[in-house]
């Protein structure tokens, strides 16, 4: 299974279109697109509402199954992800999710906790922490690989989990 995840594009429609067109089993925008819900740039992306999104058609969360994995996706502002992943962890446990996707902090990262993969793709527009703009690619088969890529689709950082 392959997922492409982006967040916090803050009005950058060209990047949204480019990432939406990447080959994947599913793609996700974790909010703060500052676009309308029905903007054609999203293509078939699963998307949620961020704290900077004005269109009320965006859902607060999305739950989908892809490749036998249950994915719980939020922006993160309502789960206080800038302070801790604890609220998001409890929500993901309640949803019996295999993967929890979020954004909001503009910092990329991934970790596995109690069998749940947590991934923040960073920001494609205004990254923080001295990082370059990034999105994430998740590949889950015999192992779990999360690759963070820049806007030239070059690898910035990666992690792999085996025998989880």
CATH number at residue 50: 3.60.21.10
Query: Hey, what are 73's tokens?
Result: 């996706």
Domain that holds residue 108: 2-161
Write the pLDDT tens digit of every residue in 72-107: 999 999 999 999 999 999 999 999 999 999 999 999
Mean pLDDT of 43-64: 98
Assess whether pLDDT exceeds 70 at residue 164.
no
CA distance 159 to 31: 24
Closest Cα to residue 92, out of 68, 70, 59, 109? Answer: 70
Q: What angle do CA 112, 31, 89 make, to 5 degrees?
A: 30
The whole-number pLDDT of residue 150 equals: 98
Q: How many domains does the chain contain in total? A: 1
Q: What pLDDT sits at residue 14?
A: 96
Question: Is the CB of residue 50 less than 8 Å from the CB of residue 124?
Answer: no
Check the CA dihedral 9-103-134-127 and report its sign: positive
Q: Using an 8 Å Cβ cutoff, are 38 and 44 in contact?
A: no
Q: Which two tokens stand for residue 126?
A: 């205004």
């Amino acid at each position: 299974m392959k997922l492409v995840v982006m967040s916090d594009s803050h009005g950058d429609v060209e990047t949204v279109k480019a990432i939406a067109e990447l080959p994947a089993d599913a793609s996700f925008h974790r909010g703060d697109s500052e676009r309308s819900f029905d903007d054609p740039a999203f293509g078939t992306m699963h998307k949620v509402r961020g704290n900077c999104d004005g269109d009320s058609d965006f859902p607060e969360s999305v739950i989908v199954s892809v490749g036998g994995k249950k994915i719980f996706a939020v922006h993160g502002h309502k789960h206080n992800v800038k302070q801790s992943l604890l609220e998001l962890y409890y929500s993901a446990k309640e949803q019996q999710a295999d993967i929890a996707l979020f954004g909001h902090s503009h910092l990329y990262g991934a970790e596995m906790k109690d069998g749940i993969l947590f991934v923040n793709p960073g920001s494609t527009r205004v990254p923080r922490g001295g990082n370059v703009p990034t999105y994430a690619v998740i590949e889950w088969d015999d192992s779990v690989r999360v690759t963070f890529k820049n806007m030239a689709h070059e690898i910035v950082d990666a992690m792999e989990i085996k025998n989880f």
